[in-house]
Amino acid sequence: MVERKIIHIDMDAFFASVEQRDNPELRGKPVAVGYSEERGVVAAASYEARRYGVRSAMSSLKAKNLCPHLIFVPGRMSAYKAVSRQIHEIFHQYTDLIEPLSLDEAFLDVTGNKKGISLAVDIAVAIKKSIREELNLVASAGVSYNKFLAKIASDYRKPDGLCTIHPQQALDFISHLSIESFWGVGPVTAKKMHTLGIHNGEQLRLCTVEMLTRQFGKAGLMYYDFSRGIDLRPVEAVRIRKSVGCERTLEKDISLRSSVIIELYHVAVELVERLKQADFTGNTLTLKIKFHDFNQITRSSTQTNELKTLNEILPLAKQLLKEVEYSNHPIRLIGLSVSNPKELVDEKEEWEQLSFEFSDWSD
């Protein structure tokens, strides 16, 4: 079997870096893309801002408390998309096997690349150089024999990082990896791992597949494989759009039912418009609620009919809302998404990840 050569490219502080590039007055200063109002959220932060602890998805109020001289700039999604297309043009000089994860992140399979370059790290170096010279932006790159390790490697030496994990190094590298660094391990799963005595890759590798699947379901098998450096997922040049969603951060926390219903209506109207624009239908509706303390829950319902009109979506959304207790737990954010499409798109359709401005909705 031919050993795969996978590169993961991750643009460093992408939105903020584009703003600093296009506005010289912002260079070297702490910049946050987003809105500074009381209910605002940081969409991206420059590395100068990150030194103060400012992070994406943080409330603007907290960000300003951490960094009083933080400069907020409104986002320009059209500009970021245009730059992302330029980055992909550079990728295509080497391979057409490109799997975008977002506007600023992608996997490349360069096993059989267009230029016949034998070492993947040489391609990564060339791509980083082209991005810097042609676009005046900085990227980090990870190189390995599968997607899991390539992504881990790209995060290892940011910013402007380059890290290669060779097959003979993989197990030792994974052994010292914190469990929070594993793909698919969020705060809730990490906490559960810790209660089981699992804090790093070495401890995870000692677990049996039976134990992990019992504790984590299907994801347990993925953790079992990752701890052994196994990830057989291919780089998929075409991605199927799996959902369309939108959400609204409210100006004030609300708990009055009539107010919640009004906001739910507005989100449903926006969702219907986005479904129309995306020419997308699915039969699963998911309601997302984020409370005043930033805890969040989701509730879903799958129907036999496709969901595409307000008359189909709003009553179902109201039904899902009945499953949420918020009378003594004010709501900060409401989101809706439609997923589970009945028909797959044509395999030749070009895929572009849905990136709604300053939305932290996850598919």
pLDDT digits (tens, 9 = 90+) for 265-320: 999 999 999 999 888 889 999 999 999 888 889 999 999 889 999 999 999 999 99
CA atoms within 13 A on the CB side of 359: 22
Residue 349 annotated to the active site:
no
What would the two tokens of residue 3 be?
Answer: 């050993």
pLDDT along the chain (363 residues), means of 10: 90 96 96 86 94 92 95 94 96 95 94 94 98 97 97 92 96 96 89 96 97 93 96 84 87 92 95 90 93 90 91 95 92 93 46 34 30
CB 136 within 8 A of CB 11: no
DSSP letters, 304-316, are EEEE-SHHHHHHH
What would the two tokens of residue 165 be?
Answer: 């994990």
Closest by Cα among 157, 158, 90 to 128:
90
What is the pLDDT, as a whole number, of residue 348?
34
Residue 288: helix, strand or coil by DSSP?
Answer: strand
What would the two tokens of residue 139 be?
Answer: 């990227």
Buried-state track 346-355, b at ≥16 Cβ within 10 A, e below 16: eeeeeeeebe
Q: How far separated are the first and last CA of the chain, in Å rounded? A: 34
CB 92 within 8 A of CB 98: yes
What is the pLDDT, as a whole number, of residue 177?
95
Residue 300 CB partners (closer than 8 Å, separation 6+): 284, 285, 286, 287, 320
Cis link prior to 159 (omega < 30° from 0)? Answer: yes
Give the separation between CA 136 and CA 295, rounded to whole angstroms. Answer: 39
Give the separation between CA 27 and CA 138, rounded to whole angstroms. Answer: 14
Domains in the chain (CATH in brackets) are 1-165 (3.30.70.270), 174-227 (1.10.150.20), 243-339 (3.30.1490.100)
Whole-structure pTM value: 0.72
What is the pLDDT, as a whole number, of residue 41?
87
Strand 31-34 relative to strand 42-45: parallel, antiparallel, unpaired? antiparallel
pLDDT digits (tens, 9 = 90+) for 25-47: 999 999 999 988 877 889 999 99
What would the two tokens of residue 196 be?
Answer: 């089981």
What is the pLDDT, as a whole number, of residue 251?
83
Of 19, 48, 105, 247, the catalytic one is: 105
